[in-house]
Homo-oligomer: A and B are copies of this chain.
Amino acid sequence: MEIREPIRKVAIVGRGNVAYHLCRAFGDTVEVVQINSRSELKIEDDVSMIVIAVADSAIQDVAAGLPSSGALVVHTSGSVGIDILREYHDRCGVLYPLQTFSKAKDLDYSKIPFFIEANYPEDLRNLMDFAAKISSLVTAADSGQRRQIHLSAVFACNFVNRMYDIAWKLMKDSNLPPEFLQPLIEETASKIRDLTPVEAQTGPARRGDTAVVDRHLGLLTSYPEYKEIYRIISEGIMNENIKDCSPGVTVQ
């Protein structure tokens, strides 16, 4: 492979949250063309990179439908391997931003970790240089590592947000303003800057206070799903504390 030119003009395929924010993130650095629908997939000649930012299940279709323009073709998915692109585009790669994107919420793009993969070393280098213009946290990662990062992110973000949602609903059902939880939520996230999650863990299960755990399970009788979540997570926290010195706790 010859040395490639730096990435100067980017086409982004997609109209979801990731496509929306990548357009904004890239827009300060390079010229960006946003392509919303499959019928527009004709790509201009001077585009040096095409970013497929669509649902995981649609990546293959879009990749297959893209003309072979010679541009670098990348996707942005945590869970999809690079192989899905290789079949159609020799110059391919992945640009995975580890962040939660909602159109209604602005973001500081300089703090988004980007994980980069490419079929050719020259493209990897170019892609990493490009990402480094946007963010200070750019790392090469292969498809296997990226899958593990995405799985971890589901726990650290998506499931965390679901815990917020359950807490919100429990407050509302008791006619209490859920906004009271805001300082607690921010402090819980902020603690992780200074402490490991094991050090930061507090609460009845951490203290082994089975009386409170039992009372809480009782309060959740009319919420079978939340009760099951409460039971299994509390059990895990309790077993964490007594690891290596007991056969383990079962919360009934």
Contacts and interface: CB of A to CB of B under 8 A. Distances in A.
B148 A174 contact: yes
Interface string A25-40: 0000000000000000
Nearest to A209: B56
Nearest to A226: B155
B99 A198 contact: no
Contacts of A56: 204, 209, 211-212
- Which applies to chain A's interface (DSSP): helix, strand, loop or mixed? helix
A156 to B, nearest CB: 4
A152 B165 contact: no
Interface in A177-214: 178, 180-207, 209, 211-212
Interface stretch (A82-90, A126-134, A227-235): A227-235
Chain A interface size band reads: 35 or more
A180 B207 CA distance: 29
Interface stretch (A7-15, A41-49, A67-75, A102-110): A102-110
B111 A17 contact: no
B185 A105 contact: no
A161 interface: yes
A55 B139 CA distance: 45
A219 B228 CA distance: 22
B199 A104 contact: yes
20 contacts: A56-B211, A98-B180, A100-B187, A101-B202, A102-B200, A105-B187, A105-B194, A107-B187, A145-B176, A148-B171, A151-B216, A153-B184, A156-B164, A158-B204, A160-B160, A161-B191, A162-B201, A165-B201, A168-B198, A225-B232
